[in-house]
Amino acid sequence: MSYNLKFELHTHTIHSDGSFTPKELVECAIKYGYNGIAITDHNTDSGADECVKWGNELGLTVIKGIEWTTFWGHIVVLGGKSSIDWRSVTPQNVIEKVKEAKRAGDIVGIAHPYRVGYPVCTGGRNQFPQELFEYLDFYEVVSSELEDPTNLRSAQEYYELKQNGYNLTGTYGRDWHRDNDRAGATYLATYLYSENPTITAEEALEAIKQGKVYVGDRSTGEFILR
């Protein structure tokens, strides 16, 4: 038997600019039927250990992570093994920084590449060099609400990258700061294929790296894209 385990790979807590405490984030994820999350606060992982602790107690797989929220783009680093100073990341050295994170055992992806950028959201729009895609593990094809027009552009870029041979796993990121679903909006999730009904954080990272995922409707699991 195989399972499609529902994950949210992009979340924030009060350790950066989210409204959730780590415990509240775990509880909210369980409320929405997730099997796991990644905690990816902006430029800090100070809440990661507490989040893992609550995940263990309440029954949710928690992947440690961080979002390098730089002036030129936002990069999600999952695994909690590297400890790269986000301030040191620039367009000139980002590839080396990503390689360093991966050598430590993390996986790395680009967040919301076509988000509305400066001065509305600094770094929201990806301005890192194209060569970076060669070194990333995943690409956040859909961010936040499915209806957001910028998701059309990221989906187009993702499919072009795949056609050109880039080995990138397509994922979804809610960029979840608070429990504030908008009525009428569609939210998705990243579903990980598993042979077991539960999955460890390491197994989840491996599934993402190997592309054993699909993006689907958060409520129904209906397939949206892979």
Q: Are strands 36-39 and 3-11 parallel, antiparallel or unpaired?
A: parallel
Report CA-CA distances (Å) from 202 to 31, 61, 83, 158, 211. Answer: 23, 10, 17, 25, 14
Whether 9 and 76 have beta carbons less than 8 Å apart is answered as yes
- The residue behind tokens 């957001």 is 148
Name the CA dihedral angle for 96, 102, 175, 138, rounded to a multiple of 10 degrees: 90
Which of 6, 10, 15, 64 lies at the binding interface for other proteins (CB under 8 A)? 15
Determine if 55 is a binding residue for other proteins (CB under 8 A): no
x-marked contacts with other proteins along 160-199 as a string, rule CB under 8 A? ----------------------------------------
C-alpha distance from residue 32 to each of 70, 98, 198 (Å):
30, 32, 16
Q: Judged by CB, which is closer to other proteins: 25, or 199?
A: 25
- CB-nearer residue toward other proteins: 58 or 116: 116
Judged by CB under 8 A, does residue 149 bind other proteins? yes
Q: How far is the CB of 114 from other proteins (least distance, A)?
A: 5
Element (H, E) at 87: none
- Interaction with other proteins in 25-44: which residues (CB under 8 A)? 41-44
**Of 71 and 223, which CB lies nearer to other proteins in the complex structure?**
71
Applying the rule CB under 8 A, the residues between 77 and 136 that interact with other proteins are 85-87, 114-125
Pairwise CA distance, residues 100 & 146, whole Å:
33
Q: Which is nearer to other proteins, 72 or 176 (CB)?
A: 72
Binding residues (CB under 8 A) for other proteins: these are: 13-17, 41-44, 46-47, 69, 71-72, 85-87, 114-125, 149-150, 152-153
